[in-house]
Structure 1
Amino acid sequence: MNIDELSSPERRLWEAFPRGESVDLASADQGLNDPGGADRWGPERTVRAEVLVALLVGAVAAEPGQVAAVRLSGARVVGPLNLGHAEVAAPLALTGCAFDEPPQLYWAKMSSVHLMRCGLPGLIASGARVDGHMWLEGSRISGGLWLDGAHITGILNMSGVHLVNPGDDALLADRLTVNANVYCDQGFTADGEVRLPGARIGGQLIFRGARLHNPPGVALYASRLDAAANVFCDGGFSAEGEIRLRGARVGGYLSFVGAKLVHPERTALNADDLAVETDVYCTDGFSADGGVSFAGARVAGQLSLSGARLSHESGTALGLQRLQAEELLLRPAEAIKGIADLSYARVNLLRDDAGTWPSRLQLDGLQYENLEPPLTARERLGWLRRDTDGYQPQPYERLAQTYRSLGLDADGRSILLAKARDRRSTQGLPLKTIGYLQDALVGYGYRPFRAASWLIGLLAFGTVVFSLHKPGVLNADDSPHFNAFFYTLDLLLPVGSLGQEGVFAPAGIYQWIANLLVAAGFVLGLTVAAGATRALSRE
């Protein structure tokens, strides 16, 4: 490059570069320094991009004992800034600058890149390696920010950045690697899709207070994201469009505290197969207009939906199928509008609130060790009977087992009795008839002492009948005095003898009555004995 052709601002930059000194071309009138109005900036604030390229690729050497750098503020950069595949040893630090064309940093090797409060019609840094920080704080980038396959050894700071590319990729960062934290906070906005699939982040991913807008598509696509520490989507975070974290891994905790997600009649949050090393918080004002799914997710600690508001009335508002978590806190601010699917989930402790149970549940295959609060069997039956799939045996058995493990055997039996009764509604008329009989007699075996009442009733009935119609004597020479009460009791007892049954023999219809008393006594007596045995064994 012929230095004699440099303009006054370019010559200033050229002379400052060997010592790494800053060149400030900004106006004293701060109202004229907005990069959005750079078309009004005159030649005194204009620098050709080719001058920057020449300096960065070695046209001028650093002065001895100095670190050469491009440090420029308040300039309009015209022409293509093309550093594709270049090796750049000098830092690039531009503040409040405006670009006419998207800078090209693809597959470049940079020492550090600072483009702060700049206006760019795009930035292409696919495959670039930055040995240091990449600082884009406060910049406005339209046309897309491309960081796919890039590797940044320090921090990626996009605090306050405005990405504008409606209907397309606002941020394309597939397979991005950042060794430290990624900041998308302090007013970060994106109009278009933010893509981080397969990205690897060595620190925290921070979307605190960010606003993402890409209806009706995907607002944040971060499937298979690997974050070594915490992920924050809180502090006023909002998204119009789907948040997709399918198969992502979070080494710390995941926070959606107070977040507002909007994707009506579709999936608002897809966290299927997510793996989180500690906790997930969708709490304290978290709201989702659309489905929230943690199907197949693995949460080492707590998944909390305390104070949440979930709405997807035409489908599954909360999908927890096959979830594995130490604790599930399902106490939303109001009843979930839509289906809550907990089928085949496995949690150690399930905390819920009867006042906010969804009207529609799916519970088949759900496994839990403890319930808080356990509630009474009658109250918990209202929970089971909200299952949209109708009668399923496993939820009853799981609940009964939990009650028994808590020492609430009576509640456990009540649940199993309800299971038998609800199963009866699915059977044909013959089995229903038998079921009603079993229920009336012994409560399907879960009310064994009800049989004692029947025995007392039959004893009274037999005493009256045989008092009025004394049975005949088999052996007149050797017969005890007939007693209708003891004779009936002898018929009813399945074991032993009181010396009456073998001596007296009724005839006709009374023989049928005697035989029915014998059969009923056998069945009912064994039922009472079995119930007594279980009661004694529990003691």
Structure 2
Amino acid sequence: MGVEQRLGDGEFVDLKGESITASSIRDLLIADDLDPRGIRLRDARLDGVLDLADVQSKRPLVLVDCRTDSPVLLDRASLSSVDLSGLVAPAVSAAWLRLDHYLLLRNARLDGGEHDWAVDLAEAHLGGHLGLSGAHLTGAQYALHAPRLRVGGEVFLTDLRARGVVRLDGARIGGNLRCGGADLAHDEGALLAVDLQVEQNVFLDGGFRATSTAPPHRTVRMRGSRIGGQLVLDGRASGPIALDLKHVRVGMELLLRADFADGRVSLDGLTYVGVPRRASLDDWLELLATRTQRYASQPYLQLAAAHQAAGNERDVRRIRVAQQKDLLRRGRLTRWGRLWHRVTGATVGYGYRPAIALLWLAATLATAVVLVTAVAGPAGLTRAATGPCSAVEQIGLALNAATPLVKPDTQQRCQVLTTTGLGQFVVVATWLLQALAWAFATLFVAGFTGLVRKTT
């Protein structure tokens, strides 16, 4: 029985490196009497171009560990499933491919040849999984070119080695996107997944590595993506702009290691549920303050909202203060706005630490006491009765002069002598200190009431 006859009967044929004409596989696949198990072939060399473009068949195609010197063409084909695991070829062209079940290219070796890509799955529709685990893909521009790809199940890019952009712009994935252990590299970005939609989780972990060197391209760019489950970033992305998660919506938790991005990050518009994991609050504040491209309030507000929902009020205040410091350093403030920001920061912690104003008030009163007791001294004071002013009376005079509203010494037994220059200086200084005391007391009340409003 010939090889073609055995293949037509659905047998799993191992050619052990022998050759078979690629056109015979096409002829078998479109034959009406092909066994429902389809074509199952292992370790064969395909002579000629395997051109299955526009082929319509409800049979599976299995070509495991096969080799060919020409690209495999699956454009606009409609099949049950395709297994090209272990394929060694220049490229696989499968734009607008329609599969009822899965496409497997596990451990494939595709060098791109004359094509800009190693695998082209633009607008392909797969009812089941896409498996590229362990594959080595090299393309002049793209390793995997899959804009607007539709996958009903999982996408496996685990341990993928890609030398070219992995492009998933506009792709829709019904299960998980698994990139654990993948090694992606290209000068113009490693993983490009703008407007990606993943129903479950995205895993960039298990030793995941992405590298890019040419600005302004992003190493990992997922801008505008929608992720129904978790986003796990537990590998390493290196480049001038290493990570772009602008306007990404994560339906569950965000797990982001502090050292995931070796370069600048863009997090404006990123939303998630719960407190971020895999990095401490200090790591997050350092990331937002020093490694984002520019100041943006939304990442701070999102982080504060997550901690507030968890009941971490002290952490919420830390985040708010860090946000205001970043605004002062990198925000667009007028000269007077910047000055006022500095004042409120130094006095009430931008409204989130009103107790600082009490410390300034205490320092003002202490200065008044030193001024009266040490600068003016008993010689610079006069007393209604005979005898010098006691130390208690001197302190009472100082507090009486500087404390707003509350007057501890209403009888004013001692007075500063204003007939000398020193006495006049002390009096004027106490006026200034009283003005400062009024200001600090007012700032404390305003900051305290504002803080109460923010936490209720």
Deviation at 1:228, TM superposition (A): 1.2
Deviation at 1:142, TM superposition (A): 4.4
Alignment of 1:200-279 (within 5 A): 200-214=98-112, 217-234=116-133, 236-241=134-139, 242-263=143-164, 267=165, 269-279=166-176
Alignment of 1:55-454 (within 5 A): 71=5, 102=23, 110-112=31-33, 133-135=38-40, 137-165=42-70, 170-179=71-80, 181-185=81-85, 187-191=86-90, 193-214=91-112, 217-234=116-133, 236-241=134-139, 242-263=143-164, 267=165, 269-283=166-180, 285-290=181-186, 291-306=190-205, 307-314=207-214, 315-325=217-227, 326-332=229-235, 334=236, 336-338=238-240, 339-347=242-250, 348-373=252-277, 375-426=279-330, 427=333, 429-454=335-360
Please name the residue that 2:363 is paired with: 457
Q: Distance in 2 between matches of 1:359 and 1:188?
A: 36
Change (3 A) 1:274 1:164: same
Report if aligned partners of 2:20, 2:46 keep a CA contact under 8 Å in 1: no
Deviation at 1:465, TM superposition (A): 4.4
Deviation at 1:401, TM superposition (A): 2.1
Counterpart of 1:461, as a letter, is T
Deviation at 1:288, TM superposition (A): 0.8
Structure 1 gap ranges (5+): 1-21, 25-69, 74-89, 115-130, 474-480
Q: Distance in 1 between matches of 2:213 and 2:76?
A: 36
Aligned length: 417
SS of the residue corresponding to residue 152 of structure 1 reads coil
Deviation at 1:396, TM superposition (A): 2.0
Please name the residue that 1:525 is paired with: 441
Deviation at 1:308, TM superposition (A): 0.6
SS of the residue corresponding to residue 341 of structure 2 reads helix
Deviation sequence 1:199-226 (CA, Å, 0-9, x none): 1211121111211110571100001121
Deviation sequence 1:473-531 (CA, Å, 0-9, x none): 9xxxxxxx99425524642x4xx777859999999777765664555444432433355
Q: Distance in 2 between matches of 1:430 and 1:106?
A: 80
Q: TM-score, normalised by structure 1?
A: 0.67
Deviation at 1:387, TM superposition (A): 3.5
Report if aligned partners of 2:256, 2:276 keep a CA contact under 8 Å in 1: yes
Change (3 A) 1:162 1:374: closer
Q: Distance in 1 between matches of 2:447 and 2:408?
A: 24
Report if aligned partners of 1:463, 1:488 keep a CA contact under 8 Å in 2: no
Q: TM-score, normalised by structure 2?
A: 0.78
Change (3 A) 1:368 1:520: farther
Report if aligned partners of 1:178, 1:201 keep a CA contact under 8 Å in 2: yes
SS of the residue corresponding to residue 174 of structure 1 reads coil
* Highest RCO, 1 vs 2 (Cα 8 Å, sep ≥ 6): 2
Counterpart of 2:232, as a letter, is L
Q: Please report the RMSD computed on the Cα atoms of aligned residues, expressed in angstroms.
A: 3.9
Change (3 A) 1:293 1:517: same
Counterpart of 1:71, as a letter, is Q
Deviation sequence 1:249-296 (CA, Å, 0-9, x none): 211111111111112xxx2x001122112211111x311122112221
Report if aligned partners of 1:277, 1:300 keep a CA contact under 8 Å in 2: yes
Deviation at 1:453, TM superposition (A): 0.5
Q: Distance in 1 between matches of 2:29 and 2:63?
A: 20
Counterpart of 1:111, as a letter, is D
Counterpart of 1:317, as a letter, is T
Q: Distance in 2 between matches of 1:104 and 1:354?
A: 51
Q: Distance in 2 between matches of 1:249 and 1:452?
A: 61
Change (3 A) 1:510 1:188: same
Structure 2 gap ranges (5+): 385-392, 419-423
Deviation at 1:298, TM superposition (A): 1.2
Deviation sequence 1:400-426 (CA, Å, 0-9, x none): 222222222222222222222222234
Higher strand share goes to which structure?
1
Q: Distance in 2 between matches of 1:512 and 1:441?
A: 23
Counterpart of 1:373, as a letter, is R
Deviation at 1:452, TM superposition (A): 0.4
